[in-house]
Amino acid sequence: MMTEIDYPPDAIELGRLLFARPFLFVKGCVKIADLPEPDRVEIAFAGRSNVGKSSLINALCGTTSLARTSNTPGRTQELNIFESQSEPLRIVDMPGYGFAKAPEDKVRAWTKLIHQYLTGRAILRRVYVLVDGRHGPKDNDLTVMNELDKAAVSYQIVLTKADKLLPKDLDKIIAATRAVIAKRTAAHPHLIITSSHKGDGLSNLRTEIAMLLQS
């Protein structure tokens, strides 16, 4: 079932080159007014706390230390901005939604920020909505997808932690997730399956992002 997507070789190479450049941490934003000037394309990584957003950004960029990761849900608490000197792309690592080990008022504040950002940022070209490969989309993922559909913000679903499942179990989650995507107006039709630890799917995701910049 884990069918490979046939990307054109030149798009794959563009994706590789894009992430061969160093991306650097620019700033963390706790409110919309802190965001940088809208002078380039933005992509954001959203998902439940602990789904692997920061790990995936590191893996895409070929590093372990760009975005801070942790076993404890609620590690990322700000909109963390990463940019490259040479590429017109900004990457936004978002705090997670759902359960987090952090003070209640803090979680409430960042949850509000997430929703404001996802539906109100004009230069936000695509949201990568990360979904835990062990569970498939949960209610709060569906709520975010509803919001993105309603705001007509393009998004693409990425399954994470594929290394934690047996192939037959992963296949079931893939089928269920594809069924969810098929009904949604702003969802990209390709489902990306990743393991930040093993490197699965990173080339596909880099290629998708490179193609997005070309479009």
Size of the site for Mg ion (CB under 5 A): 4
Neighbouring CB atoms inside 10 A of 128's CB total: 26
Strand partners, 131: 159
Residues that bind ligand GTP (CB under 6 A): 47, 49-55, 69-71, 73-76, 95-96, 160-161, 163-164, 195-197
From 140, 56, 144, select the one nearest 92 (Cα to Cα).
56
Binding range to Mg ion, per CB under 5 A, among 31-39, 73-81, 122-130, 161-169 = 73-81
Under 8 Å between Cβ of 5 and 12: no
- Cβ proximity to Mg ion, 75 vs 121, nearer residue: 75
Under 8 Å between Cβ of 214 and 14: yes
- Does 207 engage in binding with Mg ion (CB under 5 A)? no
| Least distance between ligand GTP and beta carbon 215 (Å) | 27
Query: Phi, psi (5° rounding) for residue 84?
Result: -110, 150
| Least distance between ligand GTP and beta carbon 196 (Å) | 4
Question: CA-CA distance, 99 to 121, in Å (whole number)?
Answer: 25
The entry of ligand GTP, Mg ion, none that residue 204 binds, CB within 5 to 8 Å by partner kind: none
Q: Which residues bind Mg ion (CB under 5 A)?
A: 53-54, 75-76
